[in-house]
């Protein structure tokens, strides 16, 4: 745990860790945006929240997925890696509505396009798992939030599975993740496992047996083949959006 005052900038490399006298991070954040230390960017905001709670955090911004060493620059984190595509869905960031490649990226220094991969949440999670075998991974942000259930993908022109399934991440946080992220840090620090059932709103995980009071959505096969089933699944999910009374899906 880190009880030092808030630092000027969060660590982004091993030299930064050494300067703080840290041997390791508690949580490693991966983002598809440049590191912009401003609350309008979710990853630095959440990282600052954990720092304020006493956790040692660092950020790797726009790492090269073809170079696993880019993910190892601060070593293996003690608790987990938190992964986001950034402030935009990576496919929206890369392509216009006409499916033409965009020429710039407002969230990259110099406006240079192509600094994050397509389907960044999936690509980054695979790279993190390749860099650190068995590491717990938590995905979040707009790309994960909007793709947490089976969904129609405009670029593939088909229904895709939940990004939690395709990324093989351990946990997905959707919406505003502050309280859920703090809860996960406390649970893992206390010795719980990342996949243990929890009752925290805004979390998505894979379980063999759903809770008894859960609302059952049509299967992936059904929503892939039948537009009516897809519409039903969307309505069922939309009806449970209330953060105070929404039921488990």
Q: Give the domain CATH number at 154.
A: 3.40.50.280
Residues 44 and 102 in one domain: yes
Range of the domain at 240: 208-249
122 domain-assigned: yes
Over residues 34-68, the pLDDT tens digits come to 999 988 899 999 999 999 999 999 999 999 999 99
Residues 65 and 106 in one domain: yes
36 domain-assigned: yes
Task: Please give the pLDDT value at position 59.
Answer: 97
Over residues 120-146, the pLDDT tens digits come to 999 999 999 999 999 999 999 999 999
> Positive or negative, the Cα torsion across 10, 13, 19, 24?
positive
5 domain-assigned: no
Residues 229 and 141 in one domain: no
User: Which of 47-61, 92-106, 132-146, 193-207 shows the lowest mean pLDDT across its residues?
Assistant: 193-207
Task: Please give the pLDDT value at position 245.
Answer: 80
44 domain-assigned: yes
Residues 104 and 197 in one domain: yes
Q: Please determine, for residue 198, whether its predicted confidence score (pLDDT) is greater than 80.
A: no
- Selected residue with higher pLDDT from 197 and 122: 122
Number of domains present in the structure of the chain = 2
Q: Please determine, for residue 2, whether its predicted confidence score (pLDDT) is greater than 70.
A: no
Name the CA dihedral angle for 68, 130, 144, 197, rounded to a multiple of 10 degrees: -140
pTM: 0.93
């Amino acid at each position: 745990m880190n009880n030092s005052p808030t630092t000027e900038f969060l660590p982004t490399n091993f030299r930064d860790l050494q300067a703080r006298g840290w041997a390791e991070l508690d949580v490693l954040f991966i983002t598809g945006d440049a590191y912009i230390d401003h609350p309008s960017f979710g990853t630095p905001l959440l990282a600052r929240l954990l720092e304020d709670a006493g956790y040692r955090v660092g950020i790797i911004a726009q790492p090269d997925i073809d170079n696993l060493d880019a993910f190892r620059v601060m070593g293996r984190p003690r608790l987990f890696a938190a992964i986001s595509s950034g402030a935009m869905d990576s496919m929206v960031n890369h392509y216009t509505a006409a499916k033409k490649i965009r020429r710039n990226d407002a969230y990259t220094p110099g406006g240079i396009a192509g600094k994050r991969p397509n389907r960044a949440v999936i690509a980054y999670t695979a790279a993190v798992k390749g860099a650190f075998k068995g590491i717990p991974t938590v995905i979040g942000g707009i790309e994960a939030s909007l793709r947490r259930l089976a969904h129609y993908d405009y670029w593939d022109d088909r229904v895709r599975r939940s990004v939690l399934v395709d990324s093989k991440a351990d946990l997905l946080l959707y919406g505003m993740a502050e309280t859920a992220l703090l809860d996960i840090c406390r649970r893992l620090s206390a010795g719980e496992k990342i996949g243990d059932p929890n009752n925290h709103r805004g979390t998505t995980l894979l379980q063999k047996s759903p809770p008894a009071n859960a609302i059952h959505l049509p299967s992936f096969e059904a929503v892939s083949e039948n537009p009516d089933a897809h519409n039903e699944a969307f309505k069922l999910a939309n009806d449970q959006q209330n953060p105070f009374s929404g039921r488990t899906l």
